[in-house]
Amino acid sequence: MQEELLASIASLNQRTDCALTNVGILSVLLQGCCKLPQVYVQPEEDRIQTSRKEAKHSSPCADQEESIRLPLIDISVFESYLESDPRRSEMLAKIVESSRTWGFIQVVGHGVDLELIKASEEEAHRLFQLPVSVKQNALRLPGSLFGYGANFWLNLPAMNWAESFSISKSNAKEYAAKLLPNHYERFSNVMEEYIRQVEGLGHRFRRILTEGLGLPANHFDRYFGPDETEVNLRLNFYPPCPEPSKALGLKAHRDPHFLTLLHQDDTGGLQIWNEARDEWFNVKPIPNSFVINVGDMLQAASNGICRSVLHRAVVNESRSRLSMACFYNTGATIVAPDELITSERPQKYRPFSWKEYVKEAYTYTTGAVSQFEELYSI
């Protein structure tokens, strides 16, 4: 029976409605499958131990010394450090440097209510624990950005070992009602407020980074008025995996949006690709912090100074993991400001908008060359 199911799931995987496929697989797992189903087996070169050079620190629960230390910035200090304060420019330089090299940074003093984060995590767990037959009611359909599933990229060579649920402030109720028809309000109230507060952090961090780039802090405000700002939340749940060395929670990818603001639990599993060092590095979870990373849209807006960097999520055998990724984005057409265009750094990208880019953003490429570069480089 199980073999039959796996075979039909494998054939489904040839189609593009991967969300459905994933639900099928998960239902098999929930019936007690202890070997990694073939559709989850990653190509040899993408696996944890063997991708490019051997991943430096492949254990998702790595010790402190095995993980990179992304700069950890307390951004609340920007409220008290005046413009003339040398500590302000020192911190700004750190943020810009990290956005150039790692494409990532960790922040505390972020202003998002810690109780709200906890409540959001609880609600997310409650949702993922629902029976598969219920979760199927909110499937993320091909072409949609919202709903339940895992494989939101098309053309994946193997499936991600993850479940995800994507919503925005304006549709949280609608999607939650599909899963929790009689008691969706607790979920949607918490998530709407979570997205609202993380959006505020996105605005704040974006202004700090803009100042760090030598521009007036409000330069990109023109892209982030109420009509242009788009923030989606993707809840990612990675169940314990029977053969973690052959699977990935999320395949290596670059985030296509402007900024990603990620809250992760204490399991660990996020890895960042460092091109200069030709290695993968773990990001050790720091309690109550957010990991913020540069997306393709910001890379374009900063004329390539800030970099959208490959990252992935690895899984492990014993612990599940929950991450909550808010994608902070704009619907406006992105043009790098004149101040960031020089003779040494000529304009790198032609202007484009998310509406245009989203059509391509989730077609999975090998990851070696970003489709964003191919589409928009001048």
Smallest gap from Cβ 327 to Fe ion, in A, equals 9
**Residue list 297-316, contact with ligand AKG (CB under 6 A):** 311, 313
**Residue list 101-120, contact with ligand AKG (CB under 6 A):** none
Coil, helix or strand at residue 344: coil
Q: Which stretch binds ligand AKG (CB under 6 A): 173-181, 202-210, 222-230, 263-271?
A: 263-271
b/e map 203-237, b = 16+ CB within 10 Å? ebbbbbbbbbbebebebbeebbeeebbbbbbbbbb
Smallest gap from Cβ 318 to ligand AKG, in A, equals 17
Alpha helix positions (H), the chain? 2-12, 18-30, 86-101, 114-128, 132-135, 172-179, 185-212, 296-301, 354-361, 371-376
Q: Which is nearer to ligand AKG, 213 or 324 (CB)?
A: 324
Q: Tell whether residue 323 is a contact of ligand AKG (CB under 6 A).
A: yes
Q: Which stretch binds Fe ion (CB under 5 A): 233-241, 254-262, 339-347, 367-375?
A: 254-262
Q: Tell whether residue 250 is a contact of ligand AKG (CB under 6 A).
A: yes
Look at residue 234 and give the partner it binds from Fe ion, ligand AKG, none, a contact being a CB closer than 5 to 8 Å depending on partner kind: ligand AKG
Q: Tell whether residue 348 is a contact of ligand AKG (CB under 6 A).
A: no
Yes or no: say if 162 and 155 are a contact pair by the CB < 8 Å rule: no
Q: Tell whether residue 255 is a contact of ligand AKG (CB under 6 A).
A: yes
Alpha helix positions (H), 213-320? 296-301
Q: Which stretch binds ligand AKG (CB under 6 A): 136-144, 201-209, 218-226, 262-270?
A: 262-270
Which structure tokens are listed for 210?
Answer: 């803009």
Which residue has tokens 């939650």? 176
Look at residue 323 and give the partner it binds from Fe ion, ligand AKG, none, a contact being a CB closer than 5 to 8 Å depending on partner kind: ligand AKG
Look at residue 296 and give the partner it binds from Fe ion, ligand AKG, none, a contact being a CB closer than 5 to 8 Å depending on partner kind: none
Q: Which amino acid is at 195?
A: I
Smallest gap from Cβ 104 to Fe ion, in A, equals 10
Overall size of the chain counted in residues: 378
For residue 129, how many C-alpha atoms fall within 13 Å in the half-sphere facing its CB? 7
Smallest gap from Cβ 6 to ligand AKG, in A, equals 26
Q: How many chain residues interact with Fe ion (CB under 5 A)?
A: 1
DSSP per-residue codes, 139-204: B--TT-S-EEES--SBS-SS--S-EEEEEETTTHHHHHHHH-TTS-HHHHHHHHHHHHHHHHHHHH
Q: Which stretch binds Fe ion (CB under 5 A): 155-163, 248-256, 279-287, 338-346?
A: 248-256
What's the rounded Cα separation, in Å, for the pair 300 and 353?
10
Q: Tell whether residue 255 is a contact of Fe ion (CB under 5 A).
A: yes
**Residue list 95-154, contact with Fe ion (CB under 5 A):** none
Q: Tell whether residue 264 is a contact of ligand AKG (CB under 6 A).
A: yes
What's the rounded Cα separation, in Å, for the pair 123 and 120?
5
Which structure tokens are listed for 61?
Answer: 């629960």
Binding site for ligand AKG (CB under 6 A): 234, 236, 250, 255, 262, 264, 269-270, 311, 313, 323, 325
Binding site for Fe ion (CB under 5 A): 255
